[in-house]
Structure 1
Amino acid sequence: MDLNVEEYTGPHRDLDWSFREADDSEALIDAYIDSGRLWVARAAGGVIIGHLHAVPREGEVWEVTNTAVVESQRGRGAGRALLERAIAEARTVGVRRLILATATADVGNLRFYQRCGFRMTRVVQDVFTPANGYPSGLEIDGVPLRDQVWFERLL
């Protein structure tokens, strides 16, 4: 795949459609979208097919708060290229650890992050609820969306 990964310098909200690919909570997206750094993957012709958003946290830690690749382009290396770019940038500025969370119901994401060198650190129950801005009844491949798993990768 002909792919270019670059830092996005425009307003992050220009890509809110892509943030919604990975997060169903408008309230949570609204809380973090304007912070941190944002990289995009562009296919041939310059079309944005995915993004990765990372926010500095306490100490030498960045949290990957949102990453997505449009469905038609998944499984072709864009997600890994975005993650590798964020890791390289993090190392450049002295970040020692990346953290991120995903749904326990999303087996594809669980496998992907482990293949990219991340380790599970904890599970938080009942994150994906209406109280946290998520619609009720969400499922991933027939598995109810309830709990969240946290990962880390030491750099």
Structure 2
Amino acid sequence: MVIRWWDGDREVLRGLFLEADDSAAEVDRYLGSGDILVAEDNGLVVGHLQVVDGDGAVELKSMAVLAERRGTGVGRALVEAAVEHCRRGGASRMVVSTATADVGNLRFYQRQGFRMLRVERDAFTSASGYPDGIVIDGIPLRDRIWLDRELVADES
């Protein structure tokens, strides 16, 4: 597997972005932003991670791994590459958000060294482009949780 910066047409990655976000309108809004890392295996893109400049920190804006490759270290490798790149670029903190209903994502990000920061209530509504009635792991999609990770050089 190779992790590299994407320099191609971002539309090619739209399917992965839609794996990460249930709102096509939101994906349309940020698809062209920031920088994108991809994980490739034999020329096939099996995952992506997008980082954008945020408010006082870099934001891990979007990340997805093909379903058949989840749990194989692709996501971890993408996060490690992004953290190292942002650290070398002078960033001291990275933030990420995910649905409070997505316990798998919450577990994954905490295992990558992220810690709970704040909850944004009612973030996933039809007004923000999310269809009504989405349920993840038996939990209605409503609130967003923000996590952060310090990017100090001696952190493991």
Q: Which interval holds the TM-score relative to the shorter structure?
A: over 0.9
Of residues 21, 42, 46 in structure 1, which corresponds to 2:43?
Answer: 46
Of residues 84, 89, 94 in structure 2, which corresponds to 1:93?
Answer: 89
Q: For 1:36-88, what per-residue CA distance to the aligned partner results, in whole angstroms no more than 9, with x for missing partners?
A: 00000112x211111000101234x2111100001111000000000000001
Q: State the distance in 1 between where 2:106 and 2:113 align.
A: 11
Aligned residues: 151
Over the aligned positions, Cα root-mean-square deviation in angstroms equals 0.9
Q: State the distance in 1 between where 2:90 and 2:11 align.
A: 27
Displacement of 1:11: 2.4
Matched residue, 2:146: 150
Letter in 2 for 1:79: G
Displacement of 1:13: 2.2
Q: Which aligned pairs between 1:1-155 and structure 2 lie closer than 5 A?
A: 3-43=1-41, 45-59=42-56, 61-155=57-151
What is the SS of the residue equivalent to 2:91?
coil
Contact 1:13–1:34 (Cα < 8 Å) also in 2: no
**Structure 2-normalised TM-score?**
0.94
Letter in 2 for 1:85: A
Displacement of 1:27: 1.3
What is the SS of the residue equivalent to 1:19?
helix
Letter in 1 for 2:58: W
Q: State the distance in 2 between where 1:128 and 1:56 align.
A: 22
* Structure 2 gaps, min length 5: 152-156
Displacement of 1:14: 2.0
Moved more, 73-82 or 25-34: 25-34
Segments ≥4 residues shifted beyond 6 Å: none
**What percentage of residue pairs aligned between the two structures are identical?**
49
**Structure 1-normalised TM-score?**
0.94
